[in-house]
Amino acid sequence: MVARIRSLSPIEIERATLAPAPREIAVCVQDLVKTYRDGTEANRGINLEVQCGEVVAIVGPNGAGKTTFLRQLTTELRPTAGCVSVFGVDVLAEPQQAKRAMGITPQDAGVFERLTVREHFELFARLKHLSKREAREDAKKVIAELELSGETNRSVGSLSGGQRRRILIGLALLGRPPLLVLDEPTTGLDPASRRAVWAVIRRAVSTGTTVILSTHYMEEAEQLSDRVGVIASGRLVAFGTLDELLTRMDRSYRVSYRDALNPSDPLSELKIRYFASFAQAQQHVARELLSEYSIARASLEDVYFTLTGESFDKRQTESMG
Q: Are residues 180 and 279 in the same domain?
A: no
Does the global pTM surpass 0.85? Answer: no
Half-sphere exposure of 150 (CA within 13 A, CB side): 3
Q: Are residues 258 and 233 in the same domain?
A: no
Q: Are residues 214 and 122 in the same domain?
A: yes
Give the residue from 194, 215, 246 where a domain finishes.
Answer: 246
DSSP 263-302: TT-TTSPPEEEEESSHHHHHHHHHHTT-SSEEEEE--HHH
Encode the chain (321 residues) as per-residue pLDDT tens digits: 444 445 555 555 555 455 455 579 999 999 999 999 998 899 999 999 999 999 999 998 888 899 999 999 999 999 999 999 999 999 999 999 999 999 999 887 777 888 999 999 999 999 999 999 999 999 999 999 888 999 999 998 898 888 888 889 999 999 999 999 999 999 888 888 888 889 999 999 999 999 999 998 888 999 999 999 999 999 999 999 988 988 888 888 888 887 656 655 555 678 888 888 889 989 998 988 888 888 888 888 888 888 887 665 443 433 333
Tell me the residue length of the chain: 321
| Cα angle 134-208-235, degrees, rounded to a multiple of 5 | 115
Q: Are 239 and 217 in contact (CB under 8 A)?
A: no
Q: Is 103 in a helix, a strand, or coil? A: strand
Q: Are residues 51 and 123 in the same domain?
A: yes
Q: Are residues 102 and 219 in the same domain?
A: yes
Q: Are residues 292 and 187 in the same domain?
A: no
H helical segments located in 39-86? 66-73
Number of domains present in the structure of the chain: 2
Domain that holds residue 91: 25-246
| Cα angle 280-281-284, degrees, rounded to a multiple of 5 | 90
Listed residue (236, 238, 281, 288) closest to 263, CA to CA:
288
Q: Is 317 in a helix, a strand, or coil? A: helix
State how far the Cα of 47 lies from the Cα of 235, in Å rounded to an integer: 9
Q: Which residues of 170-181 are buried (b: 16+ CB within 10 A; e: fewer)?
A: bbbbbbebbbbb
